[in-house]
Every structure is written in structure tokens, then in C-alpha cells.
Structure 1
Amino acid sequence: MCWAFYISSVNRFRVHQGKALTTPARPSTEDTPTSPLATTFNTELSAAAYGRRSKRVAETESARSCPRALFPSYTYLYYPQTSRLQHLSSNPIPSITTASSHTAPVMSCCGHESDAAPTGYHGSHAHAPQDSSPSDVCCSASHKHGEEKDSIVHSHAARDDCERGAGSFDRVTLIVKGLKCGCCESGLSKAFHHIPAIKNHQVNIVMARVEFDLNTSELSIPEAIARLQKDTGYSFELLDHPEGQVLELLVRDPSDICRTPKPSGVTLLETKNKQVWNPVRLFSGRNTPLPSEPPSLVESTRTSQQFFPPEEKKAPSSMFLQIVRVHYDARQIGARTVYEYYQQHAPSQDVKLAPVGPHPSMSVGSLQTKRASFLFLITLLFTLPILVFAWGDFTKDRLVYAHVSLALATVVQAIATKEFVPGALQSLIHSGVFEMDFLISMSTTTAYIFSLVSYVFLVKHKPLETGSFFETSTLLVTLILLGRAVNEFARFRAAKSVSIRSLQANHALLVPLGGRIGPPSATRKIDARLLQYGDHFQVPPHTRIVTDGDVVYGGSEVDESMITGEPLPVAKGLGHKVHAGTMNGAGQLVVRVTRLPHENSISRIAAMVENAELSKPKVQALADKIAGWFVPAIAVIGLMVFLIWLFVDRYSNGRGWGSAVVRALTYAIATLIVSCPCAIGLAVPMVILIAGGSSARFGIIFRDPQKLEVARNTTDIVFDKTGTLTKAELEVIEGQFHGGHTERTKGMILGLLENDKHPVAMAVLQWLKKEEEGSADGTEPVTEVRMIDIQSVPGSGVKGISEDDKLEVYAGNPQWVGVEVLETQHTVLCVTVSGALAATFRLVDRPRQGAFHVIKMIKERGIRVHMISGDGEGAVDQIAHLLEIPKIQTRWRYKPEDKQRYIHELQKEGKTVCFCGDGTNDSAALKQADVGVHMNSGSDAAKSASDVVLMKTYLHNILILLDISRAAYRRIIANFSWSAIYNVLAITMASGAFIKVRIEPAYAGLGELVSVLPVILIAFQMKWRDYGRKYRSLEHS
């Protein structure tokens, strides 16, 4: 195993030009400048980003945030091929130039440049020794040595080591192949508990995803995956989460691209362990080795390395193209510029964009559905002849048909053994969990063995009175696989139906800068991934908008229902914002890009929904517990059924032991197979998945699905006033200046409030600018005073210091600045300079559209409505009077801690509180509430503290939220009820409790299909229902 590592507590040696030198324990500060690139990207590149089966090695620069006594400024790489230590220079990274630079740079392995460098070195990373050929160096995301043992360490790991001690946790996301039911999830969870290095695991059986925190100081990611595969029997695939701006290119030889000079703004090149058939389709091999050469270290915090022993070196194949991932800073260089740059500077590589594949969860779901369907068809093909032989009249050649049936049944049993037995045994041995596959394996194997016994007696011309049994074992396997295929298809369709990523358009019509809508020749069709900040793209009629942006030309109506829940088309014109995935109407638009595809509305909403799907409501814990005990309980019941029927037939009905055993076996097998915990396991996650997708259609995003269960119990809703119940479009109706320095005061206010996003600050700023425009005739414009040390105090105001004369300026509510004012129905902003009152502004706000009717409908449900605000009593009373909120349930002049305390007091009375706010000063209240709802127009701080995000500021979405919560809970209860009713009836019928009605073992395999389908249909009812229909009139009331 190859590692880039820091040597701190062991003997240090430097190897330079073949000589070993003693390393000083602590290099001087002057000799160890910190790389600005490393410092910048240390914080920007998330630790959760891993390549698909890629392996990462910690980069040297990332440790410079740790004490220098622990981590010297140079690093060593261990090359197992030659068993030597290679020194990494601590020189600062030189400035990166483009190919047009006047000074010809000295090139390194990964595009690093330096005007001069010592022999064997470049910049801050090591080169191959002098006797190595240039082809010996390349950057790769794989790490290979010896017996395929991999190690993955993220750049932040070294930093965390010095901050947290020995433990360094990385967030890992895996795609699981083979998940089938709740028992599978129970087995997975138990396997996680048996690995001490894994913490905080989350499993979603519908999306086939698991996430967990892994202590990489104890266990590497490949080792964790191997351990999980051993303990569970499932296959795991590392989910690729690239962070920031990434462009994937197809090239012939990655090492050649690594040697190409990097343009300014490109931060990292890495290869993925994936090949693409040139040029038609993706190569199907999952673990195809990547033809590559030994690499060197890349100058970034996320460094990729791959080492190959000399005998394993391979030349790049012309039949395949390799994927190279380019990390770049979109603020410095655009994707199209990067793409065209490498096309020009590496013409022999035939550089192309990598194809866009479906989301890994969708790929796995599709693959598992196809696989289950294929297995069912194969077993059906072999089962049909056996059924014909068994049910037909073939008494003359019964022995011949028995031979054929044996051969066909053996094939079917081999398929069943491969499908069910390994995973069941691994889960039982390593995790101590009885899965449903264990019951299936035991039943199908017993049926097949008894068929062999029956066959032997038939060959010896002593046939058993029960006759042939091959049709029972084969039909049983076939029907079980049919149920699995339908189950996989339903789960795949459920996941696909709520996926919002399918709304992303793949191509854009690029408009030349300065151009307007014209004939098709005036635009150029490009891949959406090649859009750059500031680009203009054309949106033809009745097409989807590619990414978020501002309209710069044209006009149209846009259907935003798929993103915000807005039922009617919204008029868009010059200056209006448009969102990715929304549908343009009959007009044409030219849009300026403000967000790239990886960060647009679709990506942000999809990320929130997908993260929420991994969380579980409390009722899921009950389902997991039931599913965990279900299989052992059924095994005990099956054994009891066998013994009861054995003794009943032997002693009560007078049958012989052989006949009694056969009859008892049929009842026991039917009992084991017909029972199904899958319905119990899917009862909750299927509803949560559909409910999350349904709510997203109305612009309601549950960041924590547990709140989907809690919201239905809401007894009190607390609203913040400004920006929630009111429009937050305040208007200054009066502005007064005091002290005789009006122009100077205006300049200070402009400088202080220029970048403040609070509604009051924005309204005052807008009023001042309009005042300037109105009095511009013959007067000098107000000069904005530069302010320093500006601080925003949530719930109070903002303060700063004028740069020129160092005067303290406060702008906020009267109580905060120490000014007494008469009570008024207006919002008041006071400005003081050095403690003296300099200006007073009175503002008016109005309730949101439909707020009165929403409050009325909430109260009709028996829910109490409260309103709290930092404004004065008069302003709060005015809005409360308009909305008919009792004064006893209103509070004014409340700071953030007061809002939190008010909610806590309600909770102490046994209330379930939902708080709805939008500002930074609402963050504490959002966290305190049982359900924190954030209006999307508010701050990011409030959004991060909330449980639910409303993408559109429609108050009636609160009502939809409550309706969806209640509907989801009812469907969860309905699913549990159906699961219980089905299993009780099916088990009693299969066990022979009803003498005249029983389930034959051959048909017991339909149990999974019959039990799971109603659960899926019950969940899908939420998708088919329009929860917003009865509230649409409120949007325009």
C-alpha cells in the first residue's frame, strides 16, 4: 500500500540527489511559505467527494494548517517499486501561466510550471528520478499496489487529525446492489454496528443508498467496503460526489493530458477508474483496470495517485477512451474555455466531453430490475416443461419425464442457490441476522431435496404416494423471482417518478455576447455543461430553461409548477429571474447565466431531497424492529407447523411416518414462503419517498423527514411578522434628518446599509437613492462614506465606523440605539452618529396576499396562531388586527433569544410548535421549534437551521405541508395494517388452520408479490393526488 505521509514522531531523513541528510525537527518559518492554492481549496473541496471506486492520497499542503512542530514543511512519498524515500520540496507553488505566456515554463507531470527548478523537482511536488522516462509520470484517481489493497485519505483528514486527535472521519456514500426488503436493511444496520470505525450510518432501501461516517485512521474506505461485502453478501459501489466545478473529458492517454500546461484557474486533474468505448457507448466492465503510468503528486488538496509495478504497465488502448476529471475555479476560467484549451493543446488526444450517465441510484435500480426480470424469465423457461409433465397425462413414459424434470429442476435450483443462499449465510454468520432469503433458501432447498428423494424412489420403481415434487420446487422459485422482479420494478419507478434531476436540459443555444434573438444561425448549440458565468443563451418557445439566470431580452410566460408549485404561468421580462427546469411559454427569451448547472435550482432541490431520503422518522424504527424479529419468528412458526402436522397425521389420522413427513413438509414450506416482511420494510420508506417527491412539486422541501411525521401533530403555529406574514417590501413613508449634517448622514447610511439584505435596510437604501434621483437637478450627488468594521446584530440592527473620521454609526430599532420614540403603527429605523440621533425613518408593511384566508383556515383546524416580531407594539398590532390574530398571542420587540424562549415556553405546556420565519434572527427559533419552516426568500443561515424549506413564499404552502404530513401518516398506518392482515391470513391459511382452504407450497411464492403491491399502490396515491387544488384561489385573493 502506497501512502503520502508526514513524518513527525519517527526518525526523519531527507533524500536529495541520492544523499541522506538529517531532517531538522522544526523548519524555520521563512523556509516554509504556504501555498495560496492549497489554502484556498482546503476549505472549498468537501471531504464527502470521492471518485467512483477512486482512491485518494492526502496532499502535502493540507497539513500546513496544523502546528509545524507536528508536520514539517516537506513530505515524503514511498515508492514500493524501488523502496526509497522521495523528498517533496516545500517551495511555494509558482504562479500558473497559460500557453501564451512569454516565458516558456518548465513543465511538470501534471501541468505544473516553473521558470526554474532543481533537478528532480518542480514546484511543491516530486518528479520522477532522472532515470525515469516522462511516461512514468501521470495523475490518477486510483491507487494500486500488490494485491489490490486500496487506501483512500482525503485532504481534510490530516487537518482533522491535528484538530480531533487520532480519529479522522470522512462521510462516505455507497450504492448497494441487491437490497430487497426491510430485513435486508436490518442486516445492513447490524453489520454497520459490528464495525467500530463506522458511525452515524443511514440506509435507504428504496434508493439503494447508504451513508456513514468512517474513521479512516482505523479503516480505509476500500477495506470498509470489503468488510461490508463480506458481512452482508451485497455489492457496494462508491458514489461519486464531485465538489465544486468539475468537467469530465474523454482522452486517449491521460498521462499526456497531465503533461499539458494547465491554464490559470484549473486546480486539479485526475483520472477515473472507468473506460469508455471509443466512440459509441460506455464500456460495461465495472472493475476494468485503467491503463495508466505511475503518477506524481498533483498540486491540490485532493491529490490522486496510482502506482503500478513495472510488470503491470500497459500502453493506452486506442479502442477505449479514458475519463479525465478537470477541477477548475469557474470564477477564473469557464468550462468552455477549459474544454477548448485542451482540444487545442492536445490535438492527438481527440478530447471530447464524457457522456452524461443517469444518477447512480437510477442506474442500480434499472440494473437490478433487468436482472430480476431476466432471472424470472430464465426460470420460467425451465419451469413450464416441468409443469406440463406434472399436470399432463404421461403415465407411459413417466420415468423419461422424471429424468428431464430432474435436469430442468436442477438448473432452476442452481439459480435459486446462487441468488438466495450466499447472502443469507453471510448475513447469518457475520451479522447474526436472519433475512428473508434464509427462509427462501431453506424452503426451496428442502423442496428440491425432497424432489430428489421422490425421484430416487421412482427410479427404483417404488414411487411415493405423493408423486412427483419437482413442479413444487421449480414453481416456488419462479413465483418468488416474479415477486422480486415486480418489487424491483415498482421501487425503481417510485424512485424515478420523484427524481427532479430529469428536468435538467442537456443542451443550450449559446448567443454571442451582445447578440439578440435572431435566426438559428445566430446561436450555437452546446452542451449545457459548457455554459459559463455571464453567457447568454436563447430559450425557444415551449422548451425548458437550461439553468438559472436573468432575462436580458424578450418576454414570455414561464410554467414554474415543477419547481415552485406555482399553478399558473408567470410573466417574465427584462430583469426577471428564471429557474432551471421550468418550461417556457410561447415567447422567446435571452437569459444571462447566473448559476451553472451544478449549482442551479434543480441541483440544489435534488440534493436536499436526496439527503432527506436517507433520514428516518421514528415510526421507521418500529418497522425495522418488527422486520428484524419477523424472520426468526416465522422460522419458529414453520418448525411448529411441521411438528404439529407430523404428529397429527401419524397419530390422529393414522398415516405412516413417510406420508406424515411429506404432508407436514408441504405445510411448513408454504408457511415459510408465504410470509413476507418486505411489506413491513417498505411501508415507511416508500411513503416517505413519494411524500417527499409530492411535496417538492409544490415547492415544499423536507430537509428532515422526521418532521413529516411530526407536522401532523401541530397545535400552535408561530409566525415571524416581517417577510413571513407581510410582504417584506417595506416602503419608507417618512424620513427625517437631525443635527444639520444631512448630506454627510446620508453618505454614512449608504455606506453602512449598502450590502445589508434586511428588508428594512433595503427599503431605506432604495428610498435614499430615489431621493437623490429626485433632487439631482443642480445639486451635487451624495458621496457614499466608506464604512469599516460593519457588524450586523440579529434582531437589532447594524453598526459600523466611518473610515475617515472614525465615527461610530448605529442603524436599528429605537431600543437598541437608545432612542425613545412615541408608539406608532409603523416600523421605525433610527440612525445615531457617535450616540447622537442623526436620522429617523418610518416604514409601512402590508400583509401577504391571501394571508388572512390562510390564518383563518389554520384556526379552523383548531391550531392556534401566534405572531412575534422585533418591531414596536403599534406595527405588530396593526398587522395582527388585519389578520385577526388575538393580541394575547402576539409579541413585539422580541430579540432572537426571546423568540426561542417563547417557543420553549409553549413546548413546556405540551404544545407541538411549528415556527415559520425567514431571517437570520429566526435561526434560533427555527431550531427550537418542533417543525422549523423557512421561507426561501430569507437568509441562508435560517435555511440551514430549518426542517422544511418553502421554495415559494406562498403562505398556503403551510396548509399543504400539514395535509401531506397527515396523508403520509395515514398511508404508513394503512401499510402497516395491510402487512399485518396479509401475514396473519396468509400464515394461517398456509399452515392449515382452515381445513378446507389452504395455500399450496407451489403457489406460496406469490406471497411477496401479493403483499408488496398494495403497499406500493397505497404510497403512490399521494403522487396522484393534487394537494394544492383547493388552495389555488388563495394565491390571487
Structure 2
Amino acid sequence: MATTTESKLTKTTFPVEGMSCASCAGSIESMLRSQEGVQEANVNFAGKTLQVAYEPEKVSPEQLRETVQEIGFDILVEKKTQEELEERQAAALTKLKRKTIVAGVLALPVFVLGMFFHDTFAWGNWVSLLLTAPILLWAGQRFFVGAWAQAKHFRANMDTLVALSTGIAFLFSLFNTVYPEFFLSRGLMPHVYYEAVAVIIAFILLGKYLEENAKDRSSSAIKKLMGLQPKTVRVIRNGSELEIKIEEVQVGDKVLLLPGERVPVDGEVVAGTTYVDESMLSGEPLPVQKQAGDMLFAGTINQKGSLQLVARKTGGETMLAHIIKLVQEAQGSKAPVQKLVDKIAGIFVPIVLVIAVLTFVAWLIVGGEAYLSEALLSTISVLVIACPCALGLATPTAIMVGVGRGAENGILIKDAVSLERAHKADVVILDKTGTITLGKPSVTDVVWADETVAQERLEQLFFSMEAQSEHPIAQAIYTFYREKGLQALQPASFNSLTGLGVEAVFEGTRYYSGNEKLLKQQHIQVPEHLLQAARQLQEDARTVIFFADATQALAVFAVSDPIKPASAEGIKAMQEAGLEVYMLTGDNQQTAAAVARQVGVAHYKAELLPNDKADFVKKLQAEGKVVAMVGDGINDAQALATADVSIAMGQGTDIAMDVANITLMRSDLMQVAGAVKLSRATVQTIHQNLFWAFFYNVICIPVAAGLLYPFTGFLLSPMVAGAAMALSSVSVVGNSLRLRGKRL
């Protein structure tokens, strides 16, 4: 159960039990929405979850549960771990399996007696009655209990259809078994339909069992994510080492971690050095070195050394928990098309009941009492075959599998609306810094005026000057030389020259570090080959820093924000997917042009402020474009919020990720094309599911009513209707599961 609170409104997700079709979901939603204090209620039939937004001062979770129980369902308001929920689901599935097997075993002799020996044995009807009764009253009990709970509130669902069809057939057969003279005296045969009752219930239970199994597979992504967190943790408290449950870890606990173990919480390393596999977050296969002061995240794997870390975030606050919550909420959300399907499913069952009554009446009007058996069989077939399960499963199963498939590939989708909307995108806007580039300036080139001079000493002096500066470029140079192991010296004097660079004195000699304007101001000579090198580096979109003494330039250094290795390939993949790609940046025109050229972007705009980016998004939208915006920083938040589809890089700021519809955990542009492909495949699957679900009912209901009988003599058996209904639901889920193999 996940909960978030905004002002006085509480948003909670509860597991739901007892649903059998889309109409069940609609009944729960309408009942809860009529409850005072409930603002919104959405049920995911496939995921068996309820997302409800309510005011806790007006209504409590217990009251919500009572409302749901009134119509024959239940919600789990007590906090349950995923393990406990899985145990409940496994127990329910085992119970369903047991009933399915028993119903199947008992139905077989009833079927054989009814189909092949109905006139052979005088006691055959009584044997069939004794075998069918436990199928109806025990194995099929859930249908009658559910139908009665709905009827008390003048509602109807799949349980209603099954209960009416099998109940009528059973009572009619029971009457003819006990008092066959009633029809014999009128010249009619007292037919019994025990085999139809038994086989229908057996088939429907089998279909539900296969359906539940398939739906369980559709949420495999959540189980994989849940499996990334260990169940127990070793901590040090009061000087003693204890092994406790993961739920009992508190912020500030010192956690012990051995090689090969998964990190249980988000925490800071306080002792030890190791390499950690962070591929579940970054997608990068190479392990990352970790030492004192570095952060570790729950779910990652410690590979080499032993560590001690202090827990900073535990339980639902960890990054892993945040990812799991996002996936759960997305899987439980509804796509816009589902709202229409829910409305149809809500009125579908009453329409079917009317059709069933009209079918029965039509048969009697046309054929009279002689066609009573045909009227009854046709009515039962209509009730059985018209179950709206396939309609109810068409959208949520595709959404669940699609969101799960995205999560497995590091694409976190906020909700079903985002997943559905992304397939319409025809323009992608990319921020440059941190999206196309790494967002971390670094030294790329060093050119010395004289290769014969003592470079080590000069490098140390240059490094010492940059160590005094807080400029981002100076920090890049400082990092470059610190990694080489250089030690900074303390200058005799140091001065920052605004807009030019810095100057410092070491052992009586004055040195300068800065741009070409600084050198001209100080009348410092620059060798021609050094000047040419600087011009070439600037053309390649690199920032150039000169290092000089009081008389001449000694070297030129180039700093740039490197392009991510996969950026060009990712942009190419977007273009091949039919997306028009733009690059927007606040950087200068020369740098923007160079980066755009290197990654293959034809359209770009430079020197833009955050509001300029948002205005450009609006401009494209005004032209009828559906815009996807990809960014990573605070400066992108406005444009992300304005775009039709917003995509944040996972290594960006929290603000960008909060605004975004989709978060890419690997910060890899290849995933942008992957997200769009996933959206297109999911929407295509939804359309396929809905087509076949509607087509199935449009074709099968008239056939079940007996439309073909006057022309061909064909009358659909209720047993075949039951099998067809079960198969339709399983086929929809199976079609959705094909998304699991989709290459992104």
C-alpha cells in the first residue's frame, strides 16, 4: 500500500480482492465516488489495485473498506509487505486451482452422461444432479455471492451473468428431474442441462485461473524490483552487531556490508573501499569505486571489499522504493481510452440482460412451447458468452506490461496517460548540457609552446593557480591535475581579474591564466603555432585558457563538456523513428553549432533563457506539433512542464524529474527512442485488444442468440459459449504479454 499526502488530500493505493470483471471495477469506483470525502477513485482490474484520493477528516480507510464490502468486494487497508500480499495472492490462486480441478473432474462424467447416455440410464439425471450440485454450490459459489451483493444495490456484473445462466439451467433441470410429468403431459420432452451447468462453471474457473496466472506475469517487473532489496540487515547498535529485518533499520544506523551483498538502504560510506555494481540504476556494466564519503543506493551490489555505511534513507524513502512506487502507480493508473471502455463495460451487462430476455421471448413467440429448450439454451449462451472480462483486461494489462517493460529497461513512466501520449510525439527537443553532453566540463587538450621546458614544474604552478579560483572552468582544470596526484602550492599573492582570468606570484615570478584578452592587456607575446592551436580548439567548441608568465604564453589548455558516447547514436535512433529533433541551449552560438554538427542535429537554437525554451515549445505546439522535451536541470523545468511529453534524465535534478512524465534512469538518449517505441507498441496492443474484445462480442452474441438457426440449424452450445468466453480473456492477456519481448 502506497500513500502520499497533498494538503488535506490523501492519495492511497489499496490492494483489491474479489473482482471478476471490468464491471466489478466500475461498481467499486462509483460506490466510492459517491462517498463523502472521496475526490477520486480508480480501480485497475488487471492489477487488482484501487487508487483513491480522499479527505481523512471526512472518511477513513475503514469506512472505504465497508463501502466496498457492501457490494461483495474487499480492500486491504492494513499495511502489508509485498511478501504478505504475494502470499495472499498465492493462497487465493491455490484455492481457485483446487476448485477448478474439482469442477473439471466432476464435470467430465456429467458431460459424458448428458451427451452420450442421456436416454440410456433411467437414473442418469439423478447421478448428474448429485455431481453438478457441488460444482454449482461449492466451486461456483463465488458467482452467486457476488451476484447477490450486486443485486442488493441494483447493479450487475459478470457474476450476475454466470449466476443467472447456470442457476436458471440448474433449476430447470432440477424441476424436470423431480417432476418430469409436467412436460410429458404436454407432449414435450423434460430436457435437463446439467452438463451445460457443470462444463460452463468448469470452463469459466479454468479461464479465471489461466487469466490470474497470466496477470501475475504482467507484474513481474515489480517483483524483480522488490527482489533487489535484502530481507535482513546487519547493523551495529550500542557496540553490538545485530541482524534485523529490513523494516527495522533506522536512519543513522551503522550498516555492515560484505562482498557480494546487496545494499539494503541508501547510505554514506564511513569505512572501507570497494567497487559497487550500480547497473540497476545507471545501466552501466562497469562497477563504480566507492570510499568514505560516497553514497550507496539500495538494490546495488557490493562486489569487492567490506564496508560500513550510515543509513541516510530507509524503507519507502530510498531511491529503489521511489522507483518501485513510480512503477506501481503507473501500472495502476488509467489511460484515457480506458475511461471510455469503463463506461461501455458499466452499461454492457444490463444490455446483455435485456438481450437475453428478448432472446428467450423471441424464441417462444416464433416457435411456442416446442422451442422452449432452444429458447433456454440460447438465453443461457447469451448470458455466458457476453462476459465483459476481455473488455476490462484490454487496456490495463497492456499498460501494466508496458510500464513494467520500461522499468526493466530503466525507463520510468509516471502514469498511463504519459505512456499513451508519448506515441503521438513527432518532435523531440533536447537540452544540450547534461542531456547531449555529460554536463561536467573537463580538460580535453594541452598544447605547450615549448615541449622542451620543465613541464612538471609549470603544471604544478598552473594547477596551484586554478586551485585558488572558484570558476567552473578552473574547477575542471583543478580536477584534471588532482587526479594526476599533483599537490597545490601556496602563491605569494593571488588576484582574480573579472572577465579575464587570474594572476599569481610564485617565488618572485608573476604568472597569468585566462583568456586571450588578458594576454593582450598585459602585452604578453603568443607564439604563432600556439595561437593557431587556440583558434582550432575554439572552432571545435572548446573553451581556451592561456597560461603565461609576465612575458610570453607558455601553454594553451582546452576545456569542454564532452558529448556522451551514445548521444549521436540516440539522436539517429530518434530520427529513424520519425521524430524531428531540435537542440536548445543557453550556450553560445559557436559551441551550439559545433555540438549540433557532431551529433547530427539539423535544428538548434543557442543563447536561450529558460523561458525562451518554454516559448519555443509553445511555438511548435501552435504549429500542431506534439512535443517531447528532454532535459535534466532546473533551467529545463519550465520547458518540461510546457511540453506534451516531458522526459527527464535520471542523473539530473529532482525538480526536473518531479515535473517529467518519463524518467530515464541511465541518462542515455537511446532510451528516448526506446520510450517512444514502447509507447507505440503499447498503444497498438491496446487497440488490438479492444478490437478483438468488441469484435468477439459483436459476432458471438447474435450467434449465441440463435441468429444462424433459421438458415443453418446451428445453435451455439452453452458449453462452447463458456469456453469461448474464457478463451477471449486469456487471449487478451496473452497478447499484452507479447510486449515483454519488445526490443527497445
State how far apart, in whole Å, the 2-side matches of 1:762 and 1:391 are: 90
State how far apart, in whole Å, the 2-side matches of 1:918 and 1:627 are: 41
Asked if 1:926 corresponds to 2:640, the answer is yes
2:415 paired residue number: 704
Retained in 1: the 8 A contact 2:47–2:396?
Answer: no
The one of 903, 907, 912 aligned to 2:621: 907
Retained in 1: the 8 A contact 2:44–2:396?
Answer: yes
Retained in 2: the 8 A contact 1:362–1:495?
Answer: no
Structure 1, residues 516-575: CA drift from partner, whole Å, max 9, x if none? xxxxxx99866445656574534445x545445677656568472x55444xx3133344
Asked if 1:413 corresponds to 2:142, the answer is no
State how far apart, in whole Å, the 1-side matches of 2:468 and 2:41 are: 52
Superposition deviation, residue 596 in structure 1: 4.8
Letter in 1 for 2:256: F
1:537 paired residue number: 256
- How does 1:1002-1021 map onto structure 2 within 5 Å? 1002-1021=719-738
Superposition deviation, residue 914 in structure 1: 0.6
Structure 1, residues 944-963: CA drift from partner, whole Å, max 9, x if none? 00000111121111111111
Asked if 1:846 corresponds to 2:562, the answer is yes
Retained in 2: the 8 A contact 1:372–1:488?
Answer: no
Structure 1, residues 390-412: CA drift from partner, whole Å, max 9, x if none? 3564867624x434443443333
Q: Secondary structure at the match of 1:660?
A: helix
Retained in 2: the 8 A contact 1:498–1:690?
Answer: no
Taking a change above 3 Å as real, the CA distance of residues 768 and 695 of structure 1, as seen in their structure-2 partners, is closer
Taking a change above 3 Å as real, the CA distance of residues 427 and 169 of structure 1, as seen in their structure-2 partners, is farther
Superposition deviation, residue 696 in structure 1: 0.8
Superposition deviation, residue 868 in structure 1: 1.1
Q: Percent identity?
A: 26
Retained in 2: the 8 A contact 1:686–1:1016?
Answer: yes
Asked if 1:368 corresponds to 2:92, the answer is yes
Letter in 2 for 1:918: D
The one of 576, 601, 621 aligned to 1:885: 601
Asked if 1:423 corresponds to 2:146, the answer is yes
Superposition deviation, residue 733 in structure 1: 8.3
Taking a change above 3 Å as real, the CA distance of residues 731 and 765 of structure 1, as seen in their structure-2 partners, is closer
Asked if 1:453 corresponds to 2:292, the answer is no
1:935 paired residue number: 649
Q: Secondary structure at the match of 1:666?
A: helix
Provide the aligned C-alpha RMSD in A. 4.0
State how far apart, in whole Å, the 2-side matches of 1:964 and 1:449 are: 51
Superposition deviation, residue 588 in structure 1: 5.3
- How does 1:861-880 map onto structure 2 within 5 Å? 861-880=577-596
State how far apart, in whole Å, the 2-side matches of 1:385 and 1:219 are: 52
Letter in 2 for 1:472: A
Q: Secondary structure at the match of 1:866?
A: strand
Letter in 1 for 2:73: Y
Retained in 2: the 8 A contact 1:712–1:965?
Answer: yes
State how far apart, in whole Å, the 2-side matches of 1:579 and 1:865 are: 34
Retained in 1: the 8 A contact 2:32–2:38?
Answer: yes
Letter in 2 for 1:235: D
Asked if 1:571 corresponds to 2:282, the answer is no
Structure 1, residues 489-509: CA drift from partner, whole Å, max 9, x if none? 222232245432122222456
Taking a change above 3 Å as real, the CA distance of residues 210 and 765 of structure 1, as seen in their structure-2 partners, is farther
Retained in 2: the 8 A contact 1:718–1:868?
Answer: yes
TM-score of the pair, normalised by structure 1? 0.58
Retained in 1: the 8 A contact 2:207–2:730?
Answer: no
Q: Which moved more, 1:859-868 or 1:767-776?
A: 767-776
State how far apart, in whole Å, the 1-side matches of 2:53 and 2:575 are: 44
Taking a change above 3 Å as real, the CA distance of residues 674 and 466 of structure 1, as seen in their structure-2 partners, is farther
- How does 1:10-159 map onto structure 2 within 5 Å? 48=3
Retained in 2: the 8 A contact 1:484–1:1008?
Answer: no
Superposition deviation, residue 720 in structure 1: 0.6
Retained in 2: the 8 A contact 1:366–1:492?
Answer: no
Superposition deviation, residue 179 in structure 1: 1.6
Structure 1, residues 870-911: CA drift from partner, whole Å, max 9, x if none? 22222222212222323xx32222222111111011111100
State how far apart, in whole Å, the 1-side matches of 2:576 and 2:656 are: 29
The number of aligned residues is: 666
Letter in 1 for 2:625: K
1:274 paired residue number: none
The one of 990, 1000, 1006 aligned to 2:717: 1000
The one of 502, 505, 509 aligned to 2:230: 505
Letter in 2 for 1:226: E
Q: Secondary structure at the match of 2:648?
A: strand
Retained in 2: the 8 A contact 1:183–1:624?
Answer: yes
1:639 paired residue number: 357
Q: Secondary structure at the match of 1:573?
A: strand
The one of 435, 451, 457 aligned to 1:724: 435
Taking a change above 3 Å as real, the CA distance of residues 732 and 999 of structure 1, as seen in their structure-2 partners, is same
Asked if 1:228 corresponds to 2:75, the answer is no
TM-score of the pair, normalised by structure 2? 0.79
Taking a change above 3 Å as real, the CA distance of residues 858 and 173 of structure 1, as seen in their structure-2 partners, is closer
2:504 paired residue number: none
Structure 2 unaligned regions, length at least 5: 446-461, 497-534, 546-556
State how far apart, in whole Å, the 2-side matches of 1:588 and 1:733 are: 33
Retained in 2: the 8 A contact 1:729–1:763?
Answer: no
Superposition deviation, residue 646 in structure 1: 2.3
1:973 paired residue number: 687
Asked if 1:467 corresponds to 2:191, the answer is yes
State how far apart, in whole Å, the 2-side matches of 1:685 and 1:934 are: 25
- How does 1:591-606 map onto structure 2 within 5 Å? 592=309, 596-598=313-315, 599-606=317-324
Retained in 1: the 8 A contact 2:334–2:416?
Answer: yes
Q: Secondary structure at the match of 1:398?
A: coil
Asked if 1:678 corresponds to 2:402, the answer is no
Taking a change above 3 Å as real, the CA distance of residues 397 and 614 of structure 1, as seen in their structure-2 partners, is closer
Q: Which has the higher contact order (CA 8 A, sep 6+)?
A: 2
State how far apart, in whole Å, the 1-side matches of 2:61 and 2:663 are: 33
1:476 paired residue number: 200
State how far apart, in whole Å, the 2-side matches of 1:828 and 1:428 are: 79
Retained in 1: the 8 A contact 2:158–2:388?
Answer: yes
Letter in 2 for 1:238: V
Superposition deviation, residue 842 in structure 1: 8.7
Retained in 2: the 8 A contact 1:386–1:408?
Answer: yes
Structure 1, residues 657-686: CA drift from partner, whole Å, max 9, x if none? 1x3122111011112101231111111110
Retained in 2: the 8 A contact 1:700–1:950?
Answer: yes
State how far apart, in whole Å, the 2-side matches of 1:1018 and 1:591 are: 47
Q: Secondary structure at the match of 2:629?
A: strand
Superposition deviation, residue 216 in structure 1: 3.5
- How does 1:211-226 map onto structure 2 within 5 Å? 211-226=51-66
State how far apart, in whole Å, the 2-side matches of 1:189 and 1:473 are: 31
Superposition deviation, residue 436 in structure 1: 1.7
Taking a change above 3 Å as real, the CA distance of residues 530 and 443 of structure 1, as seen in their structure-2 partners, is closer
